[in-house]
Structures are given as C-alpha cells and as structure tokens.
Structure 1
C-alpha cells in the first residue's frame, strides 16, 4: 500500500508531562522518529514547560491540555473524543499503567480512530478496584498493545497479545565519560565522595523512605558516602524532613528535576533503587549505559538486568543488610567497562535510533491493516 497522506497520530500521556519516567520515554521516541510522513500531536494533563513546547511545535506538533482525568472522567472522555473526531486522528497511542486506559481507548473508538494503542509502563497500580472494574471495557476498546517489558505487558493485557517496545535511549548521551565525570564532581564538591544516585519521583512506589534508611546505614560505616537525589514529587518534603532528623543534611543533595541527568550519572559511583514495584525503568537502562553498578529491589522487573551491573536485593532484607551488600561490593573501573557495556545495551535492543524505526513501522503496519479491514 502507498502512503500518500501523512498519518495523524495522537500521543496521550495519562501521567504528568515532566522531565522523568513516561515523559522521557515519549520524548526519546518522538525525537528519534522520522516524522516526515507523520503528524504527531499530544494530549497532556498539565501545563507544559516552555522549552518543551517550543521544541515540539518546531516539528509542527500541537499540544492540548486536557485535565480532570481522575476527578471528572466523563467530561475528560467527552473532550478527548471531540478532539480526536475534529482532527481526524487515525492512530491514538496512550501511555499509562492500568485499565483506566479504558478512558482513552473509549474516547478514541468513539472519536473514529481506527488504531488504538494502550502502552503499559508498570507491573502494578494503586487503583486496584477501578483497574478491575474497567477491565472489560478496556479489553473491548483497544486494537493493538504495547508494553515496556514482559512483566508490564502481562500485568495489563493478561493472556492477550502485546508488542514489547523497549525503553530505548540515545546511548551516546549516557556513555561513560571521564572528563564529564571530573567536571560534575568538581561542580558539586564530590571529589572525595562515594556518590550514590537515585533518579525518580518522590512517590510511594519509589520507596525513598527505605532508601534513606539504607543510606544512613552506609554513612555510619563510611562518611565518604554521599546521596544525590534527582526528581520532584509530593513526598520530597517528607524525605527532606527525615534526612534532617537523622542529621544527614550535609550528606544528601536534593538536586530536584534536572536537564543534566546524563552528566550527573557520570558523577555518580552507583545507583540504588529500592522500588516497591516497577515495570522496566528507563533510568536503569541509562545507568547501565553509564557503567554504574545498580542495586535494585527484587520488585523491579528482572528484564532490566541487561548487564552484570544490576544486583537484585530482596525488599524483605533490612536496610542494614542492604547496606552491607552494597558496602562490600567492589567498584569496578568504568573506563575498562565502557565498550563492552555499550555493545551489550545496543545488542539487547535499547538503542532509540533502531527502536524508533520499529515503532514507526508498527504504526504504519497497524494503520494499513485496519484501513483494509474497514
């Protein structure tokens, strides 16, 4: 089939469109994808950063803010359906974590989109009752399915088929760089420190409370340990208070949301991620690319272990046991690892350049199939 017209695609983020998590996955694919024969627009739940707005609009994309998803779902679906209908979107690709994606799939079906793709980014969700209640509606309204990994796919789609879309990254941006490492360690006065990093929203899922307990144990053993926390979120203030109460304020850096994650990863010596649940976190793919040892909970999908840098530790173990395991590990020379690790990341299918081509081909294939069946 010849593609004479541009395919109109609407990307929907069901979570806040910010510099982390799902947003980074969406932007990585968008930036790497050949958009010459596509029109890609966005629906997001919050006001967009001005620099992102300028960037997306420079490619001809339009951004629509539609809020009220959880508080006024019927109005949300109605607005979404009208937008899809008026702009004649043929493909709707919605990113989320549960069967609440039935809202987007329902709006897309009513609005006339012939390809409707929910994209699963997690292996659990806190809205368990609503998730179960919407299961039947969800199953009957989507046409194709994406997931960031096997666990995330099985969680949302159960026995139904889905396509695994790896959370690809620009490998060159995260590749270990000794010059950048020195520059950023100087900038943050980290030269004599053993820097533990964590990238993620301050939420229940990410388990910062336990992370601080682990760090406190490590700091008792060796006061050269320094904790660098990147991200924002509702629980940040609570964690700041805990750090202050434990007398660790000088040893913990709250860096907030940052555009310099690749550079800050070079300054780190390891990552600790004791999440209560995860799909396949992009930050751990990035951390491995930067040749960082990663100590992660056994609640994180095992699929993230793309290299031998990932060490899984049970959440049933105490913070002291975590600290002992971490402290007794030997830090390896990242310069000697860099080529081997980068080849492993690319071989495992996490290069965004290749993955964006795969996603675009799937869009076109799905569209062609659905068009011919109507």
Structure 2
C-alpha cells in the first residue's frame, strides 16, 4: 500500500462500455492523484479492461451480486470494516443500488460518499413504469446519504439530484475527460481495418458502436438501414459491440434481406480505427447519459446521425451532427441516413475536429483536476498543479 487515502469505485464490471472506458482513462493516470483508486466489481466474469487495470497496479476487489441484494450489502459492510479505511466510496450505478450502497458506506464511517449518475434512462420512452417509480423512490435516500451528487451531463445530473440541481451546493457536473492520443493515426488504421474486414473499396460505411441491448434501439437501426440500402446500394452497415440481442438482430437482418451488407464486427479495443473508417455514425438510442461514442466519432472526423435524446453537451463540433426522434419511423431515419452517408467528407480535416475536442470540456487535464477535488478539495494553485502533473 502506498499510503495515499483510498477511493473505492463501485461498478458492475470492466467490460467495454461508457463508464468503464472513462474510468480506465482515469486510472491510467493514477500517478497524478493524491488518492489511490481501487475498484470493487459486482460481476465475477473478467472484463475486457481488467487485465490492463491489474497491470497498472489498480487493486480490484469482487463481491459477486448473486443471491439477492440484502446479502450483498451485508458482505459489503464487512468488506468496508475489514479492508478499510476508505476516504471515499464512489458509486457508479443506478439510484436504487446507489442509495443502499452509500447508506452502507455511511454506517461504516466512510466520510466521502459520491453518487455519480452516468445515465438518463428515465427519459427514454422505452423505460418501464415500474423501474421509473423505483428510481424516483430511491432518489431522496441517495440524496440524503451522499455527500456529493455528480452527473456526466445536465440530464444525467437531474436523474440523481432533481430538476433544480443548480440550487444544490452538493451537486455538480463532471464531464468525462479523455486522452485522445489514439485518434492520432486512426485514419491509417481505419484504412487497414477496412481491408482486413474485406469491405468493398467503394462501399459507403454506416457504423454503430453500442451494446446490443434494447435501449440502443438497434431494431430501428436495421430497419432504417434497409431503407437506406434501397436508396444507396453501395452502403454497408458495421455494428461494433456484443450483447443479449445479437442473435435476434442477426435474424432481423436476414428477414429484411440485408444480411450480406451488415457486418457484426464484435467488440474492439480500437474504436478510433472503426470511427475513422465510418462515413457516417448512427446512434438511435432511446436515451443516453452522455454518449461517449458521439464524442469518439467527432474525434475521428466522422459525421453523426443520432437521437435527439443525446445530451447537447456531447455534440461539440458545429455542423457535425443531425438529430432525430428515436420514435420516428424507419423511413425517416433511412432517408436521412442515405442522404448523409452519400455526402462528400467534411471540409474540415479530422485533426481540426480532434483539436477542438482536446481544447474543450472533454480534455483529460480538466477532468483529473475536478475529480481530484471531489476527494481532496485543493486551493486553486494545488488544483492547477494536479492538472499539469505528468510522470
């Protein structure tokens, strides 16, 4: 143990996903913090990022969430008593779980308890009423036991702190911060990737990067692409991801007669190369807490067609994106897809879009300084030094 105060991040796993990707950007820069980051995972399966996190020296604890949450919180309480002390417990889950997690942390004497909202699920028209009511019931408890309420966008923060979060001293935005270094040279890797995937040289590539789950609305995406394909015969759709709906989506592609022009590419640790390969990135999600993949598409210089539930904060580059209602019919999405994928590349070079993102709200230095201040508030000169700290 290196003697720094310990911060325990609690989340499901370290599989490829928005929360996990951001958190890996953070722990790769562990040396720039005055605290020690540790992870507690509730899933037993080994996530894609887990090996890297261990190589970085990040302690990983696991308490499997198997047979009911009551027993789990008893184990969590014992863990805090026996493996502590922790300066902070940083919860990255939905309000019902977060509320009970931070209640347990408070009883164990953990002084800093952070409820971090990464989604705006209740805004999605697909969100079940029962879960909406459970979420609403849990929010007052989460607010009562958390010492800090944090959101990755205004919509996400409202999910945990309420619509009037601006009037709450304990509520704040924390935009994700990224190391955009892997987007340098992504165009060349994208060209090589296109050859490796055996995509036709003249094909116009529509792309999507998302877990195959209902909220991502892949059903609409496939139906819209079938319309697009009728108007733009050289269009191909590349889906990057995995999830429980993959078999059903492959079957739907067969039914729609587009299977030969749809590639299920699996997961990847080089999303920048895929984004650079795409001529158009499409994300028709019912809801997004922020939409990391939208930021990644812009960093690669790729146009976007996304749902209007995507937080405006994620659509950084002027003129790079168009939005549609995720409930709009497939012909509307398909026509927009065909029009945008057939357009010539943006006049601005991809590097110009990347530079704009690096200078803006999603820069890593800014995020590290603001995150560090959640754990150990610093005077301005100390916060500035943390932001500049390098190996």
Decide: shared fold, TM above 0.5.
yes
Matched, 1:180 2:176: no
Alignment of 1:19-98 (within 5 A): 19-34=16-31, 37-47=34-44, 49=46, 52-68=49-65, 72-86=68-82, 87-98=84-95
Alignment of 1:201-216 (within 5 A): 201-216=211-226
Deviation at 1:152, TM superposition (A): 0.6
Deviation at 1:326, TM superposition (A): 2.5
Compare 33-42 and 222-231 and name the one that shifted more.
Answer: 33-42
Compare 121-130 and 173-182 and name the one that shifted more.
Answer: 173-182
2: CA distance between counterparts of 1:48 and 1:115? 29
Assess if the C-alpha contact under 8 Å between 2:16 and 2:49 holds in 1: no
Change (3 A) 1:310 1:247: same
Matched, 1:137 2:176: no
Assess if the C-alpha contact under 8 Å between 1:17 and 1:45 holds in 2: no
User: Aligned-pair RMSD on alpha carbons?
Assistant: 2.2
Deviation at 1:200, TM superposition (A): 0.9
Q: 1:317 is matched with which residue?
A: 328
> CA-to-partner distance for each residue in 1:62-96, whole Å, 9 max, x for gaps?
21222227x51111111112212222111111112
2: CA distance between counterparts of 1:212 and 1:254? 12
Assess if the C-alpha contact under 8 Å between 1:120 and 1:152 holds in 2: yes
Assess if the C-alpha contact under 8 Å between 2:15 and 2:47 holds in 1: no
2: CA distance between counterparts of 1:117 and 1:233? 29
2:359 corresponds to which of 347, 353, 372: 347
2: CA distance between counterparts of 1:16 and 1:235? 19
Deviation at 1:9, TM superposition (A): 0.6
> CA-to-partner distance for each residue in 1:157-192, whole Å, 9 max, x for gaps?
113432211122222212464322321111112222
Assess if the C-alpha contact under 8 Å between 2:210 and 2:216 holds in 1: yes
Task: Give unpaired runs (5+ residues) of structure 2.
Answer: 379-391
Assess if the C-alpha contact under 8 Å between 1:274 and 1:297 holds in 2: yes
1: CA distance between counterparts of 2:305 and 2:184? 19
The SS at the match of 1:96 is coil
> CA-to-partner distance for each residue in 1:265-289, whole Å, 9 max, x for gaps?
1211111100011110111111110
> CA-to-partner distance for each residue in 1:185-222, whole Å, 9 max, x for gaps?
11112222111111111111100000001111011112
Alignment of 1:104-253 (within 5 A): 104-125=101-122, 126=127, 127-158=131-162, 159-160=164-165, 161=168, 162-175=171-184, 177-190=186-199, 191-253=201-263
Deviation at 1:343, TM superposition (A): 2.6
2: CA distance between counterparts of 1:336 and 1:304? 19
Compare 267-276 and 345-354 and name the one that shifted more.
Answer: 345-354
Q: 1:291 is matched with which residue?
A: 301
Assess if the C-alpha contact under 8 Å between 2:7 and 2:90 holds in 1: yes
Compare 282-291 and 353-362 and name the one that shifted more.
Answer: 353-362
Change (3 A) 1:51 1:229: closer
Deviation at 1:115, TM superposition (A): 0.4
